[in-house]
Structure 1
Amino acid sequence: MLRSMYAGISGMKAFQTKLDVVGNNIANVNTFGFKKGRVTFQDLMSQTIQGAQAPQVDAGGNPVIGGKNPMQVGLGVNSASIDTIHTGGNTQTTNRTLDFALEGDGMFVLAKNNTADSTINVQDDDLNFTRAGNFYLDSEGHIVNANGYYLVGIPEGGTGNGLLQIPEDAQSFSIASDGSVNYVDAGGNPQVAGQIQIAKFSNPEGLQKAGSNLYKLTDNAGAYDTNNDGVMELLSPGDAGSATIRAGALEMSNVDLSEEFTEMITAQRGFQANTRIITTSDEILQELVNLKR
């Protein structure tokens, strides 16, 4: 069989993957905190027909014949990586108290714990991370996301990470840029419920998407760890160059429709060109079969 046919098949597979990623980007153009994907390609191994040769000289050191470059035929293309591009999205003002936008590096931390007095162990607990800042209050006053996962912070008077709760009799509450959760109690006195904590990663592209705008920690994410003990440390907004919180706003998707449509067109043309390679190779094979007639 012709090598070009297999090269065309590999090209079709690669461009199909690219179209899948572009389609997912376009589908999430209005998803809060969504980070677009990107596909990169790399060539497959090449078949060496003739290796490189050094220049040849005679006994007197005079050149006899010059060197030759290697002769190789490529065998197609492969998807090298599917990257998650963690650039910031546009900020949309909503004026809703529980809408938070992160300005800078970092992510909100979410936990599944369902007891208000529990302490969150950042090493052992099943934590999730997100840039989507649309939060809500449950029936007990805890700050949760759309899936009911609890926003992690340092409760007032607590010694570690835990759940943030606003008393049911609070007249009003607000969130400061440093993550402080403030409220006015029933007597009209200002109080502090705690402080939101965020996670920072040296390589956010190493996080694994878990669906529902959530990410999971992996060994390649490079979680913030000043003690070098392998335990991720959470930060208060603004600390160590981490993001600050802007209340009453949401970070939108970083998908650029014009860019995605351009990528879709190039992927479509690349896919069509590879199908033409297969068609041409098939016609050549047909000619070979017909030689016997």
Structure 2
Amino acid sequence: MSLYGTMRTGVSGMNAQANRLSTVADNIANANTTGYKKASTQFSSLILPTTGGAYNSGGVTTDVRYSISAQGTFTYTTSATDLAINGEGFFIVQGSDGVEYLTRAGAFTAMDDGTLQNSAGFTLMGYEYSSTDDPTIVVNGFDGLSEINLSSGSLNAEASTTGTLDVNLPSNEAAGYVKATSLVAYDSQGNTRLLDFTYTKTADNEWEVEVTYDGTSIAGPIAMEFDSDGTLISPSPAEITTTAQTIAGAELGALTIDIAGSTQLASDFEVSDGDIDGKAASKVTGYEISDDGVVSLKYDDNTLVPKYRIAMASVQSPDNLTPLPGNVYTQSNDSGVIVMGYAGTGGYGSILSGALEDSNVDIAEELTSMIESQRNYTANSKVFQTGSELMEVLVNLKR
């Protein structure tokens, strides 16, 4: 056995234990880092071939692995923008360099420009929300992503387009009987506009309805005819269409009012259903994030308007992702390609608002590993020291 080989083996052992201590140090330092995934050092023997009956000592090599797929526990907070993933998947964030990364660190804070950034300065990404279809995603790329911005709807108004007005017209009243009711509509700037609906009986089973705004007719008079059972049979379709108006620089668009539920029965005039869509101008007072990642802005009239859908990503082998500073990851040759999706679909986990994923570091386990590494490092140093002493004995044989 070569004494030099013995010493090199001792050195490799010390280097291996130093690597293990380095991962232990990182894990302990990040025990309270949101979404941190612990590192571990795996050992592999290095065997050299035996020649001429002499044993050649080899050594040990190390490989650092990351427990990225191991989920941590949750800590619940009072901030709606603190997000955790319950299950598989990663948030997509963008760095100051304009490059997208993966992360489980969801301690996001609303910035003065409305974007959501985590404690490492990475911006949360997603897709603009559509009420009719899920946003089209690029499965294997980040195209189409945009920054989620909570100030994108600081004021919001919605003009009226459709409505419903179902009334009962008293059949036992004489021709010439007049009754009126009103509905509120909203123009393009969110101003309220009061529309008056005036019903006039013209003959048995026949009425006229006229719609006016501020004394100006915008629909009518429109003939209404009922059958012997008091069911509306005309107009067909059973609706009123108003004409658009420009009022003080704002546009009150043409409205379609459904009157199919109107009746003519021997009872008092009564409105059974009446409403017009749209809403007045209102300010954002908060936001909500659902478990499927829909980010909705909450206005002071208590309405929720969906604005964004948080994007999720996954890879076939998350433990082989490449970790980078800021608790983010990038794709590697061994991790597989990045596949995009949404929370709650296709194996992706759900999003918890008002929660953070804790580090998956076990302090007791790390301290145990530290003690083991310390002991093993000392033992390997003794091997090196013994080899050095034997070399000194060998050199002194010449004296």
| TM-score (norm. length: structure 1) | 0.81
Deviation of 1:240 (Å):
1.1
Pick from 221, 246, 251: which aligns with 2:352?
A: 246
Alignment of 1:73-92 (within 5 A): 73-79=56-62, 81-86=63-68, 87-92=70-75
| CA–CA distance in structure 1, aligned partners of residues 38 and 387 of structure 2 | 36
> Is the alpha carbon distance of 1:11 and 1:110 closer, same or farther for their aligned partners in structure 2, counting shifts above 3 Å?
same
Identity of aligned residues (%): 32
Correspondence for 1:60: none
Instruction: Decide whether the 8 Å contact of 1:155 with 1:163 is kept in 2.
Output: no
The CA distance in 2 between the partners of 1:90 and 1:47, in whole Å, is: 47
| Match runs of 1:45-64 below 5 Å | 45-49=47-51
How many matched pairs? 255
- Does the CA contact (< 8 Å) of 2:80 and 2:288 recur in 1? yes
Question: Could you tell me which residue of structure 2 aligns to residue 13 of structure 1?
Answer: 15
Offset at 1:161? 2.6
Contact 1:183/1:190 (CA < 8 Å) preserved in 2? yes
- Report whether the alignment pairs 1:171 with 2:144: no
Contact 1:43 1:74 in 2 (8 A): no
Deviation at 1:98, TM superposition (A): 0.8
Greater fraction helix: 1
SS at match of 2:340: coil
SS at match of 1:13: helix
Q: Note if contact 2:288-2:298 (Cα within 8 Å) is conserved in structure 1.
A: no
Give CA-to-partner distance per residue, 1:177-210, whole Å, 9 cap, x none: 1001112224432210111111111111221111
Inter-partner Cα distance in structure 2 for 1:254 and 1:112:
24
Residue among 86, 91, 101 paired with 2:84: 101
Long gaps (5+) in structure 2: 137-143, 155-282
Partner of residue 35, structure 2: 33
Superposed, 1:1-293 pairs within 5 Å as 2=3, 3-49=5-51, 72-79=55-62, 81-86=63-68, 87-112=70-95, 126-157=99-130, 160-166=144-150, 167-168=153-154, 169-223=283-337, 232-293=338-399
- Cα separation, 1, equivalents of 2:325 and 2:128: 28
Mapped to 2, the partners of 1:184 and 1:30 lie a distance apart of 32
Which structure shows the bigger proportion of residues in strand conformation? 2
Flag the 1:276–1:29 CA change in 2: closer, same or farther, 3 A.
same
Letter matched to residue 154 of structure 1: Y
* CA distance in 2: counterparts of 1:133 and 1:88, whole angstroms: 13
Displacement of 1:140 after TM fit?
2.6
Could you say which structure has the larger radius of gyration?
2
In the alignment, structure 1 segments of 5+ residues that lack a partner are 52-70, 115-124, 224-231
Cα distance change, pair 185–75 in 1 and its aligned pair in 2 (3 A): same
CA change 1:4–1:163 in 2 (3 A) is same
